[in-house]
Chain A
């Protein structure tokens, strides 16, 4: 990434007279334009953050995290069940997607990088990555809700797992590819089996980057509404089983912002604030703690 950093004024043309002022002005103008366009992007971001903080902050209190949502038209209470629901569904999604994604990544990088199956997996992962999130919901609705006759946290978790599988698989693949081949050669040269090499050498080295992928997946899954809207639905009660309709923060935002009652709308904003904070913190942690090693 390193390149000459001298200001452009230091350059000289062949006759040694320096660059014409017109070219310098054009250069400066474009630099200014580029910087201002980049800073311009921050404007809507700040506007979004400001709006969420201003509307969400007033209602933040401990009871928000410990109590059930109030029935329509009444005030008080919180959305503890929605927080638990989100955690459970993201947990289910991770339990399904992490083994599948990492094992598949090991297959396509370590065992059979050139096989037809591996080529298919790479293509499919990229395609799944591009599938609209609402399609994950539609699929889980058709495949699970309709066959099992009921909305459930399980169906929501499955929909989310489809959403995050490509993120986990593709980061894991990249993490494994980033492990220098010399490590593998050294391990095999010392007499380790491929299995030992994967478990003792390759995976430990790739783990931090794989974790980054998992964190990003968590952030993505927690914020999605479309996949859980028709699968987990919502519930005003505590969760008793993963086979029953379950509340989540994102659906709470969607539902409560739609009610005519002031208090519920404020709760939607507070939930937005918590969700945005959660997602931001996860992203920051992923960036700070898990830097790629071999770059």
Chain B
């Protein structure tokens, strides 16, 4: 796939509020006076759409002069529209390929805006919570090698749990999505068998199971089907009270997905100069393994000064005050050093 950045940092207990408040204060005092109403349109990834729309709505309240409209049309279409100049900003998760990046780089800046994780949610009769899945177990389930919940490979990591002899139904996404790309990217990284049988990408062919449209389709299927397991975004699983499996990470610890464990992963990632890092298999001992950044794409130079100021103000808002809304919607607040780097990159926009 693309370049990755593994960095081991000892995980710290992040107290996020303080640096953010400070950053928010600086940002709000630095907001330029924008004058007449400016309309800003953006489009792209569906994954962060609820958060961006929330930002747009909240931003309107503090800055009535700028109207932001974000459309979730998919990363691919979003990047294309941005490059064609149809929109003022784009949004992308993993969709940007190297050639697209180089094509876009002349006049585009990628800025990480939020992050999220993908979880394996399950519906196993009698196992309400606390299921642990080793790498062998979840890869085995996904490629169809493990077909019953009481398989020894699953039981090994779950001593004392009464696993039923129920057949496993794997639930996947039927539509092309960044979620699938991130999840299959991780699986293909950790398992050669998965890479060979399924591969990675936004739409893949799964050897077993049913597919639902969107996170909501997958969530509904998991709820309806006893014995189901499927991958959804953390926010969806949390909102729908789905049971989420703890996954074995590279350091061989079982980590439950949560805002904290994802923040741990983000903290251990070192962002390169172009702020583009794919976290396929993080190395930290408390890192949740399936985590991704998602980016907004802005132009280096806008012809229209009001537009440039508007886009800058909106993204600044998102990186500062807006980060507080992220956990409410199931996303992960960006670590302070990432915000600092992102704000620095935003400075280049004119």
A and B touch in the complex (CB under 8 A): yes
| Cβ contact within 8 Å between A71 and B57 | yes
| Cβ contact within 8 Å between A72 and B54 | yes
* B69 lies within 8 A of chain A by Cβ: yes
Q: How far is the CA of A149 from the CA of B82 in the complex (A)?
A: 10
Pick 20 A–B contacts, CB within 8 A, sort by A. Answer: A71-B50, A71-B54, A71-B56, A71-B57, A71-B58, A72-B50, A72-B51, A73-B50, A73-B329, A74-B54, A74-B57, A149-B81, A150-B81, A234-B71, A236-B56, A236-B69, A260-B235, A260-B239, A260-B240, A261-B239
| Mask of A249-264 contacts with B, CB within 8 angstroms, 1/0 | 0000000011111000
**The stretch of B157-165, B186-194, B214-222, B270-278 that contacts the partner chain:** B214-222
Which B residues lie at the A interface, using CB under 8 A? Answer: 39, 41, 49-51, 53-54, 56-58, 67, 69, 71, 73, 81, 84-86, 214-217, 219, 235-236, 239-240, 325, 328-330
By a CB distance below 8 angstroms, the chain A residues around B236 are 260
Q: Which A138-153 residues have a C-beta within 8 angstroms of B?
A: 149-151
Interface secondary structure of B, over-half rule: helix
* A237 lies within 8 A of chain B by Cβ: yes
Q: Which residue of chain B lies nearest to A256 when distances are taken between CB atoms in the complex?
A: B216
Q: Smallest distance from the beta carbon of B130 to chain A beta carbons, Å? A: 23
| Cβ contact within 8 Å between A73 and B54 | yes
* A137 lies within 8 A of chain B by Cβ: no
Q: How far is the CA of A96 from the CA of B107 in the complex (A)?
A: 40
By a CB distance below 8 angstroms, the chain A residues around B73 are 151, 233
Decide yes or no: A245 and B69 within 8 Å by CB, A74-B54, A149-B84, A236-B53 being known contacts: yes
By a CB distance below 8 angstroms, the chain B residues around A259 are 50, 216
Q: Which A30-82 residues have a C-beta within 8 angstroms of B?
A: 70-74
Q: Smallest distance from the beta carbon of B37 to chain A beta carbons, Å? A: 10
Q: Which residue of chain A lies nearest to B217 when distances are taken between CB atoms in the complex?
A: A258
By a CB distance below 8 angstroms, the chain A residues around B71 are 151, 233-235, 245
Interface secondary structure of A, over-half rule: loop
| Cβ contact within 8 Å between B69 and A260 | no
| Mask of A124-146 contacts with B, CB within 8 angstroms, 1/0 | 00000000000000000000000
Q: How far is the CA of A72 from the CA of B39 in the complex (A)?
A: 21
Which A residues lie at the B interface, using CB under 8 A? Answer: 70-74, 149-151, 233-237, 240, 244-245, 257-261
Q: Smallest distance from the beta carbon of B49 to chain A beta carbons, Å? A: 8
Q: Smallest distance from the beta carbon of B133 to chain A beta carbons, Å? A: 23
Q: How far is the CA of A258 from the CA of B217 in the complex (A)?
A: 8
Q: Smallest distance from the beta carbon of B61 to chain A beta carbons, Å? A: 10
Q: Smallest distance from the beta carbon of A25 to chain B beta carbons, Å? A: 45
Q: Smallest distance from the beta carbon of B73 to chain A beta carbons, Å? A: 7
Decide yes or no: A260 and B330 within 8 Å by CB, A149-B86, A235-B71, A237-B69 being known contacts: yes
Q: How far is the CA of A240 from the CA of B39 in the complex (A)?
A: 11
Give 7 A-B pairs besides A71-B53, A71-B56, A261-B239 with Cβ atoms closer than 8 angstroms.
A73-B325, A74-B54, A149-B85, A151-B73, A245-B41, A258-B217, A260-B216
By a CB distance below 8 angstroms, the chain B residues around A151 are 71, 73
Q: How far is the CA of A72 from the CA of B236 in the complex (A)?
A: 12
Q: Smallest distance from the beta carbon of B84 to chain A beta carbons, Å? A: 6
Q: Smallest distance from the beta carbon of A244 to chain B beta carbons, Å? A: 8
| Cβ contact within 8 Å between A235 and B69 | yes
By a CB distance below 8 angstroms, the chain A residues around B41 are 244-245
| Cβ contact within 8 Å between B57 and A236 | yes
Decide yes or no: A260 and B219 within 8 Å by CB, A73-B328, A236-B69, A237-B67 being known contacts: yes
By a CB distance below 8 angstroms, the chain B residues around A234 are 71
Instruction: Identify the interface centre among B56, B236, B329: most chain A CB within 10 Å of its CB.
Output: B329
By a CB distance below 8 angstroms, the chain A residues around B57 are 70-71, 74, 236
By a CB distance below 8 angstroms, the chain B residues around A73 are 50, 54, 325, 328-329
By a CB distance below 8 angstroms, the chain B residues around A245 are 41, 69, 71
From B51, B53, B214, B239, give the contact of A258 (CB < 8 A): B214
Q: Which residue of chain B lies nearest to A73 when distances are taken between CB atoms in the complex?
A: B329
